[in-house]
Amino acid sequence: MGKRFVAIWFRHLKTDTMIRRQQALKEVPFVLAFPDHGRMLVTEPAALAKAKGIYAGMVVADARIILPVLQVFDDKQGYAEQLLKKLGLWCIRYTPFVVMDEPDGLILDVTGCTHLWGSEEHYLRDLSNKLKGFGYHIRVAMSDTIGCAWAVCRFGKIKAIIKPGEQAAALMPLPPASLRLQPGTVERLLKLGLHNAGNFMNMQRSALRRRFGEDLLLRIDQALGIKEEFREPLFPIEPYSERLPCLEPIQAATGIEIALEQLLQALCSRLQKEGKGLRVAILKGYRIDGKLQQVQVSTNHPSHNISHLSRLFALKIPYIEPALGIELFVLEAPKLEDLQTFQQTFWTANSSLESTEIAELLDNLESRFGSQVAHRYLPDEHHLPERSVKLAGSLKERPAIEWRADKRRPIQLLPQPQPVMVTAPIPDYPPMNFRYNNKLHIIKKADGPERIESEWWIQPALLRDYYVVEDEEGKRFWLFRAGHYEGDNDPGWFIHGFFA
């Protein structure tokens, strides 16, 4: 399949946008201006002002002599770029490959897209009618190459769609500027009487190179398709994504669910063939008012299970606001992993965290209650209890060391030890009672001490003597004393955990 490109030229990009936002300006001649060496220059005239003879580059004072009622607004640097990005995002519904053609145009790679509208004519008519309906003065053209589409868009006068292989015939009657040449090159060509591209396109290449440089030959080759022109897309294209344009805007949740099911079917079939599973999936809905709606789900285990992913998205669909309707759905999988095949078990003698059911259960819990509802911890190579465990990044992460089972540890460990008031014989006896959360606990049984010290190369700290104590209600706590009783030093006591 040959490449096909569409060029869009917004003839009054910034002023048309201002009129869209302030309809009263539609009947007012106005311009945008920017200061230059102590004077104001017109950067873009509105269509009504241009019809009165005002043009870009004119001094504002001269323009007001021609048109005394002319209104002038300050132009902003980077304003055109912002507008093109927004319009490029809107054009995503016509193709995933959109290129900014600054300062006032867009290039669309529509290869393989036009058949969804029935034909190239219907595709181009639908695109141009919608942009014109927004209030933009535009010109559009379609061709095999970016250069030819650009030239016909700005300088063509007969037809907007150039059939495959007919670039040369379309370019012949156009002026040299249509080839995107440097102003100096265009000026030299015109001085030599070469007013049309056809006057020099078939000349000897050596003569053209010697007289006008390599750039002229490059632009001719790009426009004719002899050399390919590479452009960076405005929005990166996810390699694993599916698109579903809608003939009629979707407003109901049922329609969104049907669209999602079709997208999941296509994406998961591809993932299954390639032995991959997604870890993150994003559903994007492009509304007819230009706004983007999107929801995201993530999995603990790579998955291409359609029913499981549908259940995860079902919890997110109520957050999508279709407003007047969504006309394009895109499902992207930005994070993938290879999917390993294995025997599936669920808490049997041979069960493991690799179980697909376990991963899907965690996915459902996190989608319903939030990402912080379930955690997995691994042992870490530190002595202090608060540092001896770490949060696992995934179900597949393996511990560097084994869990320590030779010492008693509380079921609930506080993130940081909390100070308590203790009555204890000195120097090394367990406490007799302690007060925690304004409650006095009388200790009936105690075991210890167990001395634990921090690694000196990480953070110097006082040694800790830990005691397991049981109060009069049978509740067990993990207390420690930080430091020794030496002289006038009164070491502090802390509670660090709770046993069952």
pLDDT digit string, tens, across residues 260-318: 999 999 999 999 889 899 999 999 999 988 889 999 999 888 889 999 999 999 888 99
Residue 349 has pLDDT above 50, yes or no: no
- Which residues, 6+ apart, have CB-to-CB distance to 267 below 8 Å? 240, 241, 242, 278, 281, 304, 331, 333
> Same structural domain for residues 318 and 447?
no
Both 31 and 125 in one domain: the answer is yes
Same domain, 138 and 183: no
- Whether the per-residue pLDDT at 345 is higher than 60: the answer is no
Residue 224 has pLDDT above 70, yes or no: yes
Cα(202)–Cα(224) distance, integer angstroms: 12
Which residues span the domain enclosing 438?
412-498
CA distances from 209 to 103, 171, 202, 222, 229 (A): 29, 20, 13, 15, 20
Same domain flag for 326 and 251: yes
What value does the mean pLDDT take over residues 350-360? Answer: 62
Domain shared by 179 and 105, yes or no: no
Residue 353 lies in a domain: no
Q: Which amino acid is at 497?
A: G
Same domain for 147 and 187?
no
- One domain, residues 208 and 115: no
Per-residue pLDDT tens digits for 31-79: 999 998 889 999 999 999 999 999 999 999 999 999 999 999 999 888 9
175 occurs within a structural domain: yes
Task: Say if 405 falls within a structural domain.
Answer: no
Q: Are residues 144 and 46 in the same domain?
A: yes
Three-state DSSP class for residue 338: strand
Percent of the chain having pLDDT more than 70? 94
Higher pLDDT, 17 or 488: 17
What integer is the mean pLDDT of 204-220?
Answer: 92
Tens-digit pLDDT profile for residues 370-394:
766 777 788 888 888 888 888 787 7
Question: What residues contact residue 470 under an 8 Å CB cut-off, 6+ apart?
Answer: 443, 444, 445, 446, 476, 477
My answer on whether 92 and 192 are in the same domain is: no
Asked if residue 6 has pLDDT above 80, the reply is yes
354 in any annotated domain: no
Stated as kind and residue range, the H or E segment containing 371 is none
* pLDDT tens profile 179-199: 999 999 999 999 999 999 999
Does 145 lie in the same domain as 48? yes
Determine the Cα–Cα distance for residues 457 and 244; give it in Å rounded to an integer: 58
| pLDDT score, position 159 | 82
pTM attached to this predicted model: 0.65
